[in-house]
């Protein structure tokens, strides 16, 4: 056994670095093993978006380790969605009504570096360029390198934070004999980069998430702190239109100009970027078991990778860290009990946000331009104004509250049903039967 480290974390990404900080602050000796080079010393292209959406659950976790003030210096506030129609017209859809209901664009690399620096400062041992070939859970040994006969590394307690393709999850599934459901979406994504203007300023509204909804596909753009935007095209892999059909016809310029003319007009080399940037995969991982007694536990994407359409992948992983930290605080290092409680508390919520993230793709690519949807959104805001802290939009429950995802999903379904009933056959807010709405709210909902 390894006498030096109480806890071994596999994966130095956002979630792995954060849980390492939390455990080190509790007095445990902690090591982190990462297959990639140290991103603070090397330029690493991970094939993932350079910016992410930071919301309340993630903010709480960063505050818990005293890092939010530092991180907030390089975040950009996004107050709502800036929707771009096909003809270039725009409309702004606020996220919420309260001043604090803001989503923040944060640079993935800067955030990861901040967490790694804090982990090192907390006494965490960081080891890079160490791939894991296999895991022996019974003997509590990691096999590092390219085969089982390469370097062996004993562990006491193992936290698998090694992402959607987790080696720790694969070992646990094999050892325990359960199946992991990895559902790839039939859509992929490709990124483009909108540079700042000649003065270094943003070429579009900075404080918004930009969306170009086109029914079966869409483009979004998030602001970066250097005045640029990261644009992401989400499109079917096969069919018409699709990444496959664009490649077959060799016509990215025609497709992008026709569908996203005002966006690509701001990107001088958009064809070159399209041709050189890869198509990324999108998928959901549902794992039936997250822990192996007191020896190992999965966290973040290793346990529950989700599609990015609700901006909750990082936030959900950070909330995992908060929950695990609170359980260690309450129970102590009684790992079998801690890990069982952690899985029981988090798995239903991870399943719920996975469902909501898939649903939000349809909302973003299609519904945001639908008059019926817009009327329901207006009514949603009006009911929230009339019944504060009782009628809370599902999006707000997910992004601006710490209501369990499972509760947000079930409560949101009830609210969506009444919104549909109240707007059936009408076209304006003035036609809404607010007396009927008030009776429903009083009967069905309790304060959040």
DSSP, residue by residue, 18-52 = HHHHHHHHTT--EEEE-SS--TTTS----SS-SEE
275 vs 197: CA distance, rounded Å: 23
330 vs 355: CA distance, rounded Å: 30
Q: Is the previous residue joined to 12 through a cis bond, with omega within 30 degrees of 0? A: no
437 vs 426: CA distance, rounded Å: 14
Burial class (CB in 10 A: 0-12, 13-18, 19+), 333: middle
pLDDT in tens, 294-326: 999 999 999 999 999 999 999 999 999 999 999
Average pLDDT of the residues in 95-102: 91
Please name every residue paired with 7 in a beta bridge, in sequence order, or none if there are none: 30, 157
pLDDT in tens, 182-229: 999 999 999 999 999 999 999 999 999 999 999 999 999 999 999 999
Mean pLDDT for all residues in the chain: 94
Contact 107, 101 (CB under 8 A): no
* H or E element, residue 141: strand 141-144
Please name the residues in contact with 193: beta carbons below 8 A apart, sequence gap of 6 or more.
228, 229, 230, 231, 267, 273
pLDDT at 48 over 70: no
pLDDT in tens, 107-163: 999 999 999 999 999 999 999 999 999 999 999 999 998 766 668 999 999 999 999
pLDDT for residue 426:
95
Domains located in the chain, CATH noted: 7-74+108-183+283-359 (3.50.50.60), 186-276 (no CATH), 370-444 (no CATH)
pTM: 0.95
407 vs 397: CA distance, rounded Å: 9
pLDDT at 6 over 70: yes
172 vs 137: CA distance, rounded Å: 7
In the structure, what pLDDT confidence band is assigned to residue 368 with cuts at 50, 70 and 90?
confident
Contact 360, 99 (CB under 8 A): no
């Amino acid at each position: 056994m390894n006498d030096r480290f109480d806890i071994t974390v596999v994966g130095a990404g956002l979630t792995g670095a954060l849980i390492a900080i939390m455990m080190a602050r509790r007095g445990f000796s902690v090591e982190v093993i990462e297959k990639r080079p140290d991103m603070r010393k090397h330029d690493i292209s991970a094939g993932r978006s350079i910016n992410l959406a930071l919301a309340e659950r993630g903010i709480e976790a960063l505050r818990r380790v005293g890092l939010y003030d530092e991180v907030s210096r390089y975040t950009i506030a996004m107050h709502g969605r800036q929707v771009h129609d096909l003809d270039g017209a725009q409309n702004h859809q606020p996220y919420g009504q309260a001043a604090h209901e803001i989503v923040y664009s944060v640079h993935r690399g800067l955030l990861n570096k901040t967490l790694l620096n804090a982990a090192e400062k907390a006494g965490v041992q960081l080891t890079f360029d160490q791939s894991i070939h296999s895991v022996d859970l019974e003997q509590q040994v990691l096999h590092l390198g390219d085969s089982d006969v390469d370097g062996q590394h004993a562990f006491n307690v193992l936290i698998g934070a090694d992402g959607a393709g987790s080696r720790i999850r694969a070992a646990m599934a094999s050892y325990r004999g359960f199946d992991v459901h990895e559902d790839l979406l039939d859509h992929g994504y490709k990124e483009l980069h909108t540079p700042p203007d000649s003065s270094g300023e943003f070429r579009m509204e900075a404080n918004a998430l930009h969306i170009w909804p086109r029914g079966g596909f869409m483009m979004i753009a998030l602001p970066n702190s250097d005045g640029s935007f990261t644009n992401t095209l989400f499109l079917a892999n096969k069919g018409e239109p699709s990444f496959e059909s664009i490649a077959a016809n060799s016509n990215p310029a025609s497709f992008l100009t026709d569908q996203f003319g005002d966006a690509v007009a701001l990107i001088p080399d958009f064809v070159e970027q399209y041709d050189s940037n890869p198509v990324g995969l999108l998928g959901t991982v549902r794992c039936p078991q997250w822990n192996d007694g007191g020896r190992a536990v999965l966290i973040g994407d290793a346990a529950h990778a989700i599609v990015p359409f609700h901006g909750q992948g990082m936030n959900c992983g950070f909330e995992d860290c908060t929950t695990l930290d609170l359980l260690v605080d309450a129970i102590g290092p009684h790992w079998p009990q801690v890990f069982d409680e952690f899985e029981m508390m988090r798995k239903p919520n991870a399943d719920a946000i996975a469902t909501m993230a898939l649903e939000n793709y349809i909302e973003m690519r299609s519904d945001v331009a639908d008059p019926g949807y817009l009327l329901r959104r207006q009514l949603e805001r009006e009911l929230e104004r009339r019944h504060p802290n009782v009628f809370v939009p599902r999006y707000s429950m997910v992004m601006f509250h710490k209501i369990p995802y499972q509760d947000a999903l079930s409560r949101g379904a009830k609210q969506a049903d009444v919104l549909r009933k109240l707007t059936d056959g009408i076209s304006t807010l003035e036609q809404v039967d607010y007396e009927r709405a008030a009776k429903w709210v009083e009967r069905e909902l309790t304060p959040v």
